[in-house]
Amino acid sequence: MDPEMDSQLKVGFIGAGNMAFGIAKGILSGNVLPVNVKVSAPSSRNLGRFQELGIAVTHSNIEVICGSDVVFVAVKPHLVPLVLNEISQHVTDRHIIVSVAAGVTLATLEELLPENSVAIRLMPNLPCVVQEGALLFARGSHAKQEDGALLRSLLHRCGLVEEGPEAWIDIHTGVYLFAEALAEGAVKMGMPSALAHSIASQTVLGAGRLLRDSGKHPAQLRSEVCTPGGTTIYGLHTLEQGGLRASTMSAVESATERARELGRKSAAGSRK
């Protein structure tokens, strides 16, 4: 997409939580100007950090929708029907509505919005704040390929941006607990806490970048660092004894099922 078009794009956020803030920081590091961004929230608690970025804030969701081309709906899943019912009569064919609410399906979004509205589901994650996010989106039935291209262009400074089928959107998990445990293990063995957490975070970041940039399978990278009889293979043996692989797979499964459960609740709420 033409960078000049990005700079003229009007972007709105309904909801001022961490995901909205992460995406806002990301798009401002690209070609979008702060003067073209507006955020709404019912209270002022989270709005100050947006103002520090030069972004206009308001308590009116309708003000955001009327002044924006792309609107990120970044509220909790149970609030999505209320928000979309409020703004629905102001949504036009020039709008792209992007929902980041966990579990709220494209079918629910399209049911709540005017006919033929352009809706997209987006799964971001918190590292968007440091432009190292992993973002996956799925287009609704009225969203064209160029709508997806526009969103990808808008978000490209947030991190990796990919499009996929909606069934993939609910599959997500995090690495924070692992990093915390890694640091606590080092503290237990005598390393100062601040240094342990610094090394743990850099270890996770470095491993992630190597995995991304090398194109190698995780198993191949693991075998490359496992010297026969060395410290790594001993540590991996302990992790396998503790069921790390099975526990991680179960965590992804549980998070996915919870997201789908939230979606079912949101859909039921929209029909009331």
pLDDT tens, position by position, 241-258: 988 888 878 877 887 788
Res 71: pLDDT: 98
Is 235 annotated in a binding site? The answer is: no
pTM above 0.95, yes or no: no
Res 272: pLDDT: 63
Low-confidence residues of the chain: pLDDT under 50: none
Backbone torsions φ then ψ of 174, nearest 5 degrees: -135, 175
H or E element at residue 194: helix 193-214
11 CB-near residues (< 8 Å, 6+ apart): 27, 32, 36, 37, 38, 68, 69, 70, 71, 72, 154
228 CB-near residues (< 8 Å, 6+ apart): none
For residue 98, the SS3 value is strand
Q: How many CB atoms lie within 10 A of CB 92?
A: 11
d(CA 229, CA 196): 25
d(CA 248, CA 236): 14
Give the DSSP letter of residue 117. -
Is 18 annotated in a binding site? The answer is: yes
260 CB-near residues (< 8 Å, 6+ apart): 103, 170
d(CA 34, CA 13): 12
d(CA 30, CA 76): 27
d(CA 78, CA 129): 25
Res 211: pLDDT: 87
Is 102 annotated in a binding site? The answer is: no
Q: Are 83 and 109 in contact (CB under 8 A)?
A: no
Res 258: pLDDT: 83
Is 15 annotated in a binding site? The answer is: yes
Cα dist from 152 to 38, 60, 128, 177, 252, whole Å: 20, 27, 14, 29, 25
244 CB-near residues (< 8 Å, 6+ apart): none
d(CA 20, CA 55): 12
Res 37: pLDDT: 97
Q: What are the tens digits of pLDDT across the range 136-187?
A: 999 999 999 999 999 999 999 998 899 999 888 877 655 667 888 888 998 9
d(CA 183, CA 201): 8
Instruction: Give the torsion sign (CA, 109, 112, 113, 114).
Output: positive
Res 7: pLDDT: 67
Is 14 annotated in a binding site? The answer is: yes
**56-58 and 70-73: which strand pairing?**
unpaired
35 CB-near residues (< 8 Å, 6+ apart): 54, 56
